Amino acid sequence: MKDVLIIGAGIVGTAIARRLSRYKLSVAVVEKEADVSMGATKANSAIVHGGYAEAHEKTKGRLCYKGRIQFEQLDRELNFGFRKTGSLVITTDPADLPKLQSLLENGIKNGLDDLKILNRDEILALEPNLNPDVVYALYCEGAGVCSPYEMAIALAENAIHNGVEFHLNTAVEAIEKKEDGFLVHTSGGDFESRFVINCAGLFSDRVDQMVNQPTFHIRPRTGEYLLFAPGTGKALNTVVFQMPSKMGKGILVTSTYHGNLLLGPDAIDEDGTVDRSTHVDRLYAIYQAGLHTTSKIDPTKFIRSFTGIRAVASTDDFVIGATAVPGFLNAAGIQSPGLTSSPAIADLMAEILTEQGLVLEEKPDYDPYRAPIIKPGKQPRPFSEINKLLDIPSCPKKIICRCEQVEEGTIVDCLHRGIQVATVDGVKRRTRASMGFCQGQFCRPRIKEVIEREYGIQIDGRTDVEKEGASRVTREEFIRCCKERQEQQ
């Protein structure tokens, strides 16, 4: 019998798992996919939001700042990649000033003390490449960018190190309430647990309804993105948002943690099942909107598009807490700013478990530290040096990915940290191998070879890359579209 069973290994499930791993408890996580971080946590804007945008009356308004202020310490412990950059909400219309002021006032209600409204000169001093028509901006000094899937991986690895079990490829199919807890039926067998925490993202309404009468529904809302080549992110110093709308925080332009320029997301409410395909018309509209923020976007440097799917709850808020069935807890419908709020959601869940009668006794040997996979501060080496290390016999220094200069030793390290990483994409998320300009054309077979050797398994060539049935706009298609539309103008 487990004390706690967590359903879903996104940022919320892994943050809760790691939070509970410091206590003398038996905790397990079940995840239907082959890796952690395969839902919304894998594909989002990766912004550590200030915490001013969500109303104070909402749970998400109260948790965002509490989560944000934990990122520096968490990154020191877990080494997943966080950079405090500051953020701007900009406008070119003087009539928007009261809206910026009301965002600032809401931020103060949410506990923030690092907000101010900047005028044009102050904005351009901070961001020389911004649209010169900008008139005002709300500046939040403590906002930043992180690497969300690396964060979930780091949380999971550290939770495993502290005794939490992770069961991947294990989908929850039904849940029975028993006298002293729950019997959870999964594709990987049954689990008994005193408490169950539902962190199933897009599927969290269905999991809740395995034990409860419906009290909320989840509707998917897609958002598409354009990602540009490594190095392009240096066009901007901060995260730059346009004015928010009812559907979200608006199109943002930012550097990712690893230095790629990122544009997006748009927002479309979907019905039923959604795939992660991208669409050239949507991407072109995002690109045009991005040009309103900065002209420093070069379409020829576009390398990849992707879609994120928000789990929007019918309550328009996070659904967190105890339910009508004692012992069954929800951390459901966690849409933006769920990544930022995740450390605070984990704290809240520990409080709720205590209220529900679980004793949280600290473990004396809890270790909060996890070594990085990507060593910080490594400088790119000249290609003349790299080329000599490409075709040498297997050794830790052998270069497997040319564009991102990833060594075999780094790949081997990521494969032996308690989670089986049996896809090239899983290695990509951990090491950045295949994220460069050639997008894996050179290194994919080389990565596959290392995985097969290390695990003594054969990977099916059709499944080495996690295909999601999605068709993504290619670099050639996007550049062609930009050219054609420019000619039409």
Ligand X SMILES: Cc1cc2nc3c(=O)[nH]c(=O)nc-3n(C[C@H](O)[C@H](O)[C@H](O)COP(=O)(O)OP(=O)(O)OC[C@H]3O[C@@H](n4cnc5c(N)ncnc54)[C@H](O)[C@@H]3O)c2cc1C
Enumerate long-range contacts of 21-24, CB under 8 Å, 24 or more apart: 21/158, 21/159, 21/161, 21/162, 21/163, 21/164, 21/366, 22/162, 22/362, 22/363, 22/366, 22/368, 23/360, 23/361, 23/362, 23/363, 24/361, 24/362, 24/363
Three-state SS for 464? coil
Among the listed ranges 158-166, 270-278, 331-339, 473-481, the one in contact with ligand X (CB under 6 A) is: 331-339
Kindly tell me which residue out of 81, 86, 181, 223 binds ligand X, with binding defined by CB under 6 A.
Answer: 223
Q: How far is the CB of 364 from ligand X (least distance, A)?
A: 30
Is residue 159 within 8 Å of residue 14, measured between CB atoms?
yes
Comparison of 202 and 411: residue with beta carbon closer to ligand X: 202
Using CB under 6 A as the binding criterion, the count of chain residues that bind ligand X stands at 40
Is residue 262 within 8 Å of residue 251, measured between CB atoms?
no
DSSP per position, 343-394 = HHHHHHHHHHHHHTT----B-TT-------SS-TTPPPPPHHHHHTTSSSPS
> Per-residue string for binding with ligand X, 138-177, x by CB under 6 A?
---------------------------------xx-----
Among the listed ranges 255-263, 330-338, 347-355, 465-473, the one in contact with ligand X (CB under 6 A) is: 330-338
User: 32: burial class by Cβ within 10 Å (0-12, 13-18, 19+)?
Assistant: buried
Q: How far is the CB of 368 from ligand X (least distance, A)?
A: 21
Whose CA is closest to 290, among 131, 138, 140?
131
Q: How far is CA 453 from CA 312, 390, 433, 458, in A?
A: 42, 18, 17, 9
260, β-bridge pairs:
230
Residues 2-61 that bind ligand X (CB under 6 A): 7-13, 30-33, 38-41, 44-47, 49
Q: How far is CA 224 from CA 203, 232, 287, in A?
A: 20, 19, 11
Whose CA is closest to 41, among 14, 71, 23, 19?
14
User: 292: burial class by Cβ within 10 Å (0-12, 13-18, 19+)?
Assistant: middle
Among the listed ranges 84-92, 104-112, 199-207, 466-474, the one in contact with ligand X (CB under 6 A) is: 199-207
> Biggest alpha carbon distance in the chain?
70
Residue sitting closest to ligand X (CB): 338
Q: How far is the CB of 394 from ligand X (least distance, A)?
A: 33
457-469 burial code (b ≥16 CB/10 A, e <16): eebeeeebbbeee
Kindly tell me which residue out of 201, 233, 299, 426 binds ligand X, with binding defined by CB under 6 A.
Answer: 201
Q: How far is the CB of 346 from ligand X (least distance, A)?
A: 11
Dist CA 50 CA 115 (whole Å):
9
Q: How far is the CB of 37 from ligand X (least distance, A)?
A: 6
Residues 79-138 that bind ligand X (CB under 6 A): none
Among the listed ranges 76-84, 284-292, 333-341, 355-363, the one in contact with ligand X (CB under 6 A) is: 333-341
Dist CA 329 CA 182 (whole Å):
12
Among the listed ranges 197-205, 293-301, 376-384, 455-463, the one in contact with ligand X (CB under 6 A) is: 197-205
**What residue type is assigned to position 394 of the chain?**
S
Say which residues have a Cβ less than 8 Å from residue 471's Cβ, sequence separation at least 6: 277, 278
Q: How far is the CB of 44 from ligand X (least distance, A)?
A: 3
Residues 335-374 that bind ligand X (CB under 6 A): 335-340
Dist CA 101 CA 137 (whole Å):
10
Three-state SS for 56? coil
Q: Which of 49, 56, 258, 416 is catalytic?
A: 49
Residues 410-469 that bind ligand X (CB under 6 A): none
Is residue 143 within 8 Å of residue 419, measured between CB atoms?
no
Comparison of 12 and 401: residue with beta carbon closer to ligand X: 12
Q: How far is the CB of 15 from ligand X (least distance, A)?
A: 8
Structure tokens at 469: 């049935």
Site membership for ligand X, residue 200 (CB under 6 A) = yes
Q: How far is the CB of 437 from ligand X (least distance, A)?
A: 24
49 tagged catalytic: yes
Comparison of 333 and 436: residue with beta carbon closer to ligand X: 333
What spatial distance separates the first Cα and last Cα of the chain, rounded to whole Å? 67
Say which residues have a Cβ less than 8 Å from residue 486's Cβ, sequence separation at least 6: none
Comparison of 44 and 59: residue with beta carbon closer to ligand X: 44
Among the listed ranges 112-120, 308-316, 382-390, 409-417, the one in contact with ligand X (CB under 6 A) is: 308-316
Q: How far is the CB of 32 from ligand X (least distance, A)?
A: 4
> Per-residue string for binding with ligand X, 244-283, x by CB under 6 A?
---------------------x------------------
Q: How far is the CB of 20 from ligand X (least distance, A)?
A: 15
Among the listed ranges 1-9, 363-371, 396-404, 429-437, the one in contact with ligand X (CB under 6 A) is: 1-9
- Provide the binding-site residues for ligand X, judged by CB under 6 A: 7-13, 30-33, 38-41, 44-47, 49, 171-172, 199-203, 207, 223, 265, 308-310, 334-340
Residues involved in catalysis: 49
